[in-house]
Amino acid sequence: MPAGTGTPKGRGVTRRALLRGAVVAAAAGSVGFAGGRFTAPPSAVPAWTAADMPSQAGRRAVVTGGNGYPQDGRSGLGYHEALGLARAGADVTIASRHQGRGEEAVRRIRAAAPGARVRFETLDLTDLASITAFVARMEDAGDRLDLLINNAGVQGRLEREETPEGLERVFATNARGPFVLSAGLRPLLQRGTAPRIVWTSSSRVGEIDFDDLQKVRSYDYGRAYDDTKLGALLMAFECQRRSTAGGWGIASLAVHPGVCRTSIVVDGPGLDTPEGFRFQYLPFMWQDAAVGALPALYAATSPMATGGAYYGPRDVQGLRGAPTYAPVPEAARDPDLARRYWETMEDLAGLSFS
């Protein structure tokens, strides 16, 4: 189902990561904004690991996804984010579609962090009714929320797939779903203590074609993913602008994990693809997901992390290592593009975030 009015596309940094040997940090420069203008970081992020995380005792957190417990040499970013937060004392809810995997992730986190306050809730980000029901359960479970990490995401498969509602699967999961969830949880977050929303982007981003957001006319599994990751940046920065203007008191931050050994390729395009070949035969390219989770954990917990900033790995052109400021692609700095993307999400969801 195409959306848009036929005005020009929003151009991003289009690339299939490493497929053509592109430089990942092609859009070097500004990494945050103030007063509507992007600004350079005040200083580099000091070396930071999960051991540097301040206590999260008393904080209530939601991590979407989070069911990728270690298996077959792979693990999920959200699992390590939930584990890190639980170890630091947060009350963590893992939210995903897969109940069996989610409950096993909870069991493993409790085994790794005795006394951890962690639970599982069912959430399908492609289904508006599921999101609404999840938000209602979170409201019933407590009167506030301090942290939302929009971690869950998928890569496209070789053929275009639609949700029962008729949305392209990657767009529904990676773009509209986190937007609707964040909108629904905003009242709880506004009652939280120093609340934050963390949006997960990627070291590779695409472009926004408002005439074909659903990839009906032209589908490519890589573009489907890349375009939603530019969308994540646009939503993160627009959320911060609106929070500042509206006095929401919510810090909105963006992160990317670099290149990590997760199941996203296996569950997406598969091993019989260029990405799958590299995943199988070039293992040195892929860092452990526990390290890839560090930018999100830094953004979620560090007193030095600020709303409107973008964090990613510091080494190998942003592919691996400890967190630091990440370069912002040119298109993500465009407030008009971000505003239009935000309003398109509102239209597709039938809601007003603001």
Distance, CA of 326 to CA of 294 (rounded, Å): 13
In a domain, 13, yes or no: no
What is residue 266's predicted lDDT score, i.e. its pLDDT? 82
Q: Answer for the pair 152, 102: CB distance below 8 angstroms, yes or no.
A: no
Burial (0-12, 13-18, 19+ Cβ within 10 Å), 161:
middle
What is residue 188's predicted lDDT score, i.e. its pLDDT?
98
Which amino acid is residue 27, in one-letter code?
A
The SS3 assignment for 310 reads strand
Burial tier of 322 (Cβ tally within 10 Å: 0-12, 13-18, 19+): middle
pLDDT at 35: 42
> Per the domain annotation, does 6 fall within a domain?
no
**Is residue 195 assigned to a domain?**
yes
Residue among 304, 41, 73, 79 nearest 196 (CA): 304
113: in domain: yes
**228 within domain boundaries:** yes
Give the pLDDT score at 6: 37
Q: Which residues are catalytic?
A: 225
Q: CATH number for the domain including 240?
A: 3.40.50.720
CA distance 136 to 147: 17
Domain count, the chain: 1
| Predicted structure pTM score | 0.88
For residue 43, the model assigns a pLDDT of 59
- The pLDDT of residue 212 is 96
SS3 label, residue 60: strand
- Residue 154 domain-assigned? yes
- Residue 320 in any domain: the answer is yes
Q: Which domain holds residue 262?
A: 56-280+289-349
Tell me how far apart the alpha carbons of residues 105 and 16 are, in angstroms, rounded to a whole number.
31
The pLDDT profile of the chain, 354 residues, written as one tens digit per residue, is 333 333 334 444 333 333 333 222 322 233 454 444 444 455 578 899 999 999 999 999 999 999 999 999 889 999 999 999 999 999 999 999 999 999 999 999 999 999 999 999 999 999 999 999 999 999 999 999 999 999 999 999 999 999 999 999 999 999 999 999 999 999 999 999 999 999 999 998 999 999 999 999 999 999 999 999 999 999 999 999 999 999 999 999 999 999 888 888 888 888 898 888 888 888 888 889 999 999 999 999 999 999 999 999 998 877 889 999 999 999 999 999 999 999 999 999 999 997
- Give a yes or no: residue 354 inside a domain: no
Cα separation of 124 and 133, whole Å?
Answer: 10
Separation CA 172–CA 179 (nearest Å): 10
Burial string for 42-76 (b: 16+ CB within 10 Å, else e) reads eeebeebebeebeebeebbbbbbbbbbbeeeebbb
